[in-house]
Amino acid sequence: MKRFRLDALILPLIGFALVIAAWYVSSATWAKELPSPSKTWEASRDYVLKPFEKRGEMDQGILRFTWYSLQLVAKGYFLALVIGTPIGFLLGLSATFTRIFDPIIQILRPVSPLAWLPLGLVLFMGAGKSASELGALFTIAICSMWPTVLNTAVGVRAVPQDYLNVARVLKLSRTKTLFKVLIPATLPYMFTGFRLSLGIAWLVIVAAEMLTGRPGVGGFLWQEYNALVYEHIILCILTIGFVGFGLDRLMSVIEGRFKTG
Amino acid sequence: MSHQLEISALSKTFPTPHGPLVVVRDFNLHLEKGEFVCLIGHSGCGKSTVLSMVAGLSEPDDNAGGIILAGRELSGPGPDRGVVFQSPSLLPWLTAFDNVLLGVDQVFYTASAGERRQIAEYYLTVVGLGDALHKRPTELSQGMRQRVGIARAFALSPRMLLLDEPFGMLDSLTRMELQQVLVDLWTRNHLTALMVTHDVDEALFLADRIVMMTNGPEATVGDILKVPFPRPRDRKALLEDPEFYRLRAELIEFLEVRAYTLKGQQPPAPKPPVPPNSPAASSYTPPRQDRAVLPTQVETLA
Ligand SMILES: Nc1ncnc2c1ncn2[C@@H]1O[C@H](COP(=O)(O)OP(=O)(O)O)[C@@H](O)[C@H]1O
Ligand SMILES: [Mg+2]
């Protein structure tokens, strides 16, 4: 038991140590432009230790950037759920609807955010100042909604016939069947979709900010690449990773609650 | 007097990969008001198919007879028939109480919320779940879940009760308990009931008449047995009554021989006779059909 606890702590640390060592060796040998771990820390220190400071539009504490990014993600993600869940229900309920839209969904699903974003910018060109935000939201929503759509559809199709028979015997109205039977029975699947969607939404944010130049972790990363401050690229990568991990854990906890229910 | 339930010339055909399969053909049965009828037959012969048509969950073949309940031709399912499924099929996200209330709200929508809650609570208490009203199905034993299923069916105050092997998944002790719960409730409400079972003793304990179905395909009513025992029935007294064993032998003879021969099929080789009082004989399970049972049972209740 004790040994197990120790392993759980030590083994991941070994992993971290190995990767940092590889990073160090690389920066010292074949990748001369790659900042070493210590240089990275030196250059990032201000951003990490004063995480909420605002020195300029593109020079802010890392958590402040993260906060901007999260806000944008939240909006795009919310859009994805609001649009994706009903589509998932329609797909799950109607074979005709599935036959009409499934092929197009399968074709649109693998399209990369880098491809969607320019289209988003074109779509909202008339919106003036908020064009870049709307374009980014469009991209996040359209890229991240597929897991929600597909998992919801699978969940609806998996609702046990027994439950539907109960609804039929009781002559529940359509709305009552939806809210009292279908939605509760589908919730566990929906939340799996929601979790996967959030992961994608967070993945897309970087691409969106890079191309639109909006302040945020992704925008900062791209700016610092252009400004040759390579240390900050690594800072941003680590930040994106930690935040993404945290979001996934959070969603797992929520998902787990609905699994048992 | 007209009958409470009239099933006439009922047929049901399922499409299968090997062409249409006529599961039930020309099935006729009339139930008097307040009568308790059990339907027995080999597994896969079409008992659930008949029951689910009466429940309105599946449609009989076009222009092949019909089902009339209390003078009205049936169309589709409805809460005028309380259905108890083999698996209790409670909604797992609702408590026992809310599962029952869901139906009560639906049927007694003119009553006040308080009255509806009283109805739900009353039936749950009658089936012995007064202390478990607010438990979720996962916190209840299999037998308790089926009690909720029974309470839910009765709480609708339906015109009739349809039960598809409701105790099939329970151990024999729990089964006997629930049979008693069912009889008690049925005695109070005197609902017309149609119950599928393959337990001969259960049928003899509960039914006024036992309908024996022939084998499928094209299964139909093979014979009907009147159960003369007065009510209330006492299980122990029943087990001491020679008449009980005579009827039981007749049912078993039907299942072992006539279920096949009536369809022109060859009955399986007879097994050595089981002495009537031995434990092995107390719960007769008919042998599975030799014919392969199709894997897809999308529309059946069980
Ligand atoms: N939806 C269906 N499609 C095709 N065949 C079915 C379907 N439902 C039931 N059957 C077939 O009808 C027969 C009777 O089934 P069922 O009524 O469930 O039998 P029982 O309840 O008497 O055991 C079986 O052979 C079964 O395979
Ligand atoms: Mg059955």
Residues A80-113 have pLDDT tens digits of: 999 999 999 999 999 999 999 999 999 999 998 8
Confidence of residue A257 (pLDDT cuts 50, 70, 90): confident
Which of A131-140, B60-69, B98-107, B130-139 is least confident?
Answer: B60-69
User: Is there a contact between B71 and B64 (Cβ–Cβ < 8 Å)?
Assistant: no
Stretch B83-107: mean pLDDT: 93
Ligand that comes closest to the CA of residue B47: 1
Task: Give pTM, 2 decimals.
Answer: 0.81
The tens digit of pLDDT for each residue in A190-240 reads 999 999 999 999 999 888 888 888 889 988 899 888 988 899 999 999 999
**Which amino acid residue places its CA nearest to atom 10 of ligand 1?**
B297
Contacts with B103 from chain A: Cβ below 8 Å: 170
Least Cα distance to B249 among B204, B196, B288, B290 occurs for: B204
Percent share of chain A, pLDDT over 90: 62
B300 Cβ below 6 A of ligand 1: yes
CA A83, distance to chain mean position in Å, is 16
Secondary structure class of A27 (helix, strand, coil): helix
pLDDT value at position B293? 39
| Mean pLDDT to the nearest integer, A121-132 | 86
Per-residue pLDDT band for A55 (boundaries 50, 70, 90) equals: confident
| pLDDT mean over B200-210 | 96
Q: How many residues are listed for chain B in this entry?
A: 302
Q: Which of A169, A180, A183, A257 to mutate to test the interface with B (most CBs of B within 10 A)?
A: A169
B31-68 residue pLDDT tens? 999 999 999 999 999 999 999 999 999 999 987 778 99
Statement: residue B225 has pLDDT above 60: yes
Per cent of chain B over pLDDT 70 is 88
What pLDDT, on a 0 to 100 scale, did the predictor assign at position B295?
A: 38
Among B55, B89, B106, whose Cβ lies nearest the Cβ of A171?
B106
Contacts for B210 with CB less than 8 Å, ≥ 6 apart:
B37, B38, B39, B40, B203, B204, B224, B225, B227, B251
Residue B244 to residue B247: CA distance in whole angstroms: 5
Alpha helices, DSSP H, located in A109-229: 113-123, 131-157, 161-169, 174-176, 183-212, 217-226
Residue nearest to atom 7 of ligand 1 (CA): B297
What string of H, E and C letters represents the secondary structure of chain B?
A: CCCCEEEEEEEEEEEECCEEEEEEEEEEEEECCCCEEEEECCCCCCHHHHHHHHHCCCCCCCCCCEEEECCEECCCCCCCEEEECCCCCCCCCCCHHHHHHHHHHHHCCCCCHHHHHHHHHHHHHHCCCCCCCCCCHHHCCHHHHHHHHHHHHHHCCCCEEEEECCCCCCCHHHHHHHHHHHHHHHHHHCCEEEEECCCHHHHHHHCCEEEEECCCCCECEEEEEECCCCCCCCHHHHHCCHHHHHHHHHHHHHHHHHHHHCCCCCCCCCCCCCCCCCHHHCCCCCCCCCCCCCCCCCCCCC
CATH 3.40.50.300 describes domain B34-59+72-80+159-268: yes
ipTM over 0.85 threshold: no
Instruction: CATH 3.40.50.300 in chain B: give the residue spans.
Output: 34-59+72-80+159-268
